Each structure stands twice: as structure tokens, then as C-alpha cells.
Structure 1
Amino acid sequence: MSTELAHFTLTEDGAYLPTPFAQSHWGDDHLNGPAVVGLVARALETHCGSDDFMPARLTTDLFKAARGVRTTVEVRVVRDGRRVRSAECDVLQDGTAVARATLLQYRRSSPPPGETWIAPVSAPKPPQPDGDTLPYVGSDDGGWTRSPAAHQNTSRKCFFNDGIDVVAGEKNSPFVRAAMVAESTSLVTNLGTKGIGYINGDLTVALSRLPLDDWLVVQADSHWTADGIAVGTATLFDHQGAFGSGMVTAVANPAAQIDFSTRQFPIAELNYE
């Protein structure tokens, strides 16, 4: 496998081979959420994206554990209208779908007249990137560090990352980068005093515009739990301010609890789930 900082290598026949950087902490030979989300975002944008349309909402259902095996994608346009474009993407391994995504795009235009309510939001102040590829994790009680272990607390969490490339040798687009970093909504909302015990089965990322920066912040907004089910929301920021939202639903997975204070992970593993 390639050691280049990318989740997949692309084969001559159009398939994707996961690299070690796509490995998840949830189990042996599991792929992490950002790798799968990045793959569907790339596929949908490549097949049906255009400058006239804004990729406003991507929802990815992660209903089966993706493995470190040959992977393919299938994209279909559901509707290509004058103002709204909808498409779907399946991620396939060994002939079986392991994830399905839907992308809703709107034609760009001018805003209507008048002013609307805007939620007050306090923009986080992340550290200056130092050339290292490792992301930053932050919390109100722990400040900013390169490890989530210092943030196993009950305070508000943030994540600051640029997202490694989906495919080796191909730079991520702003949309793909936003979708991948938004998958850390699960990290910033589900990280508690004993680590992460909820595994997300989906991600919805909604964007009002594309990000302007490589490094993006995900800041937790809400986290609600009952009967082993969790719902978390977060806001996405670049240097200009908030530009989108992330939402995940998750199910309790205590048998594979990720306790960052007791487990040692290779420095090459850039994703925490």
C-alpha cells in the first residue's frame, strides 16, 4: 500500500485501494469516516458538479463497516432541474453497498430583499498551522493540543484540520475538504470523559458557501442522548467565519470504546475515528 498522505490510490480501471491512512480506530481493517465521506464527495462532485451549482447538502449513510479492500463507486443523477440538482452515490466493496450518499445542489443566484435572523456565534481561535499534518483538537477546558487525550472532559470541543487527500496525487477541492473535515462533528460532539463510545452511522453537512481555507474548524453546538442514541451538531468555520453545519446521529458502541488516554496510536494515523 502507498504511504503517501492520502486515503486511497486510484487503479487503472477506476477502483480505489485504501491506504493505511484510511484505517479507523473502531476496529481492525475498518475504514474511517472521513475517508468514506471524502470518497463520495469527490465522486459526486466529479460526476455532476458545476460552477453554476452550489453543493448545499451532502448526506452520507455509513450503514456497514467499510474495509481495507478494493472499493468502487456508482453515481446516478436523480434530477437535473433548472434550480435544483439531486444525485446519489453508492460505495461498493465485494459487490455490496457499504455506504450511500445523496447530494443536493442549488443554482447560485442573488439573495432576496430584506434581512433575516442570524444566530449569534462565537468563532473559535485556532492555532497557526505549523507545517505538521496532524490535526488539532481543542476544548474549553483543555485548550489546543495535537491529541484528543487532553480533551476527555465535558466541555465544548473543536477540531482544526485540513484533511489529507482522498486520492493520492490529487488535491482535494474545497467541497471535498469541507465534507471530510465536517465528519469530525462526531468527534467534537461524542468525545467525553471516557473517550468516544458512540459510533456515528451518518453525516449530513450543509454549506452556504465553499470554504476559503485549507485548514477548517469544526466547533460543537449541541449533543443530545437517550437510550444509547446520540445526535450531535456543529458549525464549520474558515478565516471569514461560519459557512456551514454538520450533523451526525450515533449509536452506543461501548464494546469498542476509544479511550485516548490509555491507547497509543501511530503518529501516521491522522483521523481519530
Structure 2
Amino acid sequence: MADGTYMNHGWCLVIAIDGESGEVLGFQWCSRESKAAYLALFSTIPAPDVLITDGLRGAETACLEAWPGTRIQRCLVHVQRNTRVNLTSRPRLQAGRELKKLSDGLTSVHTAEQAVKWGEALNAWHERWKEFIAERTWAKDDPANPKASRQAWWWTHGDLRRCYRRLERLFRKGKLFAFLEPGLTASGPVARTTNRLEGGVNSVIKRTLLEHHGLPEEHMRRACEWVCYMKSADPRPESFITDALRDDGKETQREPDDGSPSYGTGIEWNEFHMSTHHPDTTD
């Protein structure tokens, strides 16, 4: 199962989908993503074997409480995005270039053997650069730095260190390659990204709101809910038609034809293909 969110106008829609079929399992409105919002959502859904999440703390904390037996798989694409935030797309330092290359290789891991080799490569990186990322800068040596007014020292290569520690922690806790574990794959493939949610539901919601720009906020919410409903397992939009609006089989009564134009007959398509001259000005 994958989880995700869509935010607009100060409100947030938390959505859960089936990771295999892409069907929407449930959604929850909230003012912001939080543990309470995810708990409200998860309480309506049976516990899955694995939850694919983008890494927000509220979702994972709620999962541990609501579904203690569910494994967590971190979305690998989001992990790569986090790495680019820390190191940029073109790291200046050699250590950063090597670590980004490791992060970029996450989505190329398809077997347990490759996952083991990836972990060994991460450990080898740390052995080469552990003293480098342990360097500190003291406030007295860099008084012009804004950090100097708040703390006595800081990690010289803080972003690089932060990126490594994230990758190491996720690997150690089994959240990077849970999708390869035999116990989880016995009943079928396990997703390793939230791409099905981003492209299958979130993008449709965004496009719907863009195409219907200007809707009142309440109507925007209904439009989002309608997208989720139509992406559910068994949508039946005809069930919303009331008996009063259903066709009773009687022939529609037509207005008497007295020669005057009526709605829907003011323009005749054939007139555009006749030789009869029609003035194109109002003079």
C-alpha cells in the first residue's frame, strides 16, 4: 500500500492506494499532515503487509501505532530527491559526488545480492570519508557565520554528513530494500516507489483543479473527492442519480414549431457550406 498527500489552499488531502492495482483505498481531509491525520485514515483500512511512504514522520509514526506488524518501504525516488537537496545535482566535493552516485544507484537494485553490494559500497564510502565528515568548525574560527551567534561549533560538512546518515539509517532499518524480502514478495511484487500514487491520483487531482480553475473552495474539495471515488475499486457514479432525475421512459415533449428560432437551432451547420452570401460586418 502506498500513501501520499495533495495540498491546496491551506488544506491537505491524505490518500492511500493499493500499491499493486493503484485503486484508492481511502482518503482523509486535514489541515496538515500529522500523526492524527494518518491514524484517522489508517483506522478505516485493514493492515497491509507493507506501507510505501515518502518519508514523512507522521505517516510512519501512525503506521507503527495502527499497524505494528506492517513493514515500511521508503520510496526510493523520494530518497534520491532528498539526496539532491543535500548535495545538489552536481556536488562540488569528491565525497559528495561518490555519495550521490550511490544514491542514484538505488533504483537500479533489483535483487537481494545487489542490495547487499549496495550496502557494502555505502560502508566502504564511510570508511574512506568518516574523518572528513567528522570535521567541525568552531564559532571562534568563523565569527562571520550566522551559526556563530547560536552555537559554539557545527559540522563542517553538515549536509554531506546528514545525507550519509539518512542512507545508513534507512539501510540498517530495512526500509530501503524491504520490497525484496521473500516474506513480502511471496504473494506478488512489492512497489518500491510512490510513483503510482503521484501519477495515478495526485496528478489527476492537480489537472482537474487546473482545468476547473476558479471553483469555490467547497467545490474544489468535492472535485478532489470525486477523483478519489472514481479511482476506487468499484465506482458507481450512476448510483448518485436520484429517482426524480432518472429517465421514466416518456418521450420528451417538444415545443410547437412556429418558425421562430429556439435554443439549439440558432446556427445551422450547413449554412457554412452554402454559396449564399452572408454579411460579415454590422454596417
**When the two structures are superposed, what TM-score results if normalisation uses the length of structure 1?**
0.23
Structure having the larger proportion of residues in strand: 1
Return the index of the structure with the highest Cα Rg. Answer: 2
**When the two structures are superposed, what TM-score results if normalisation uses the length of structure 2?**
0.23
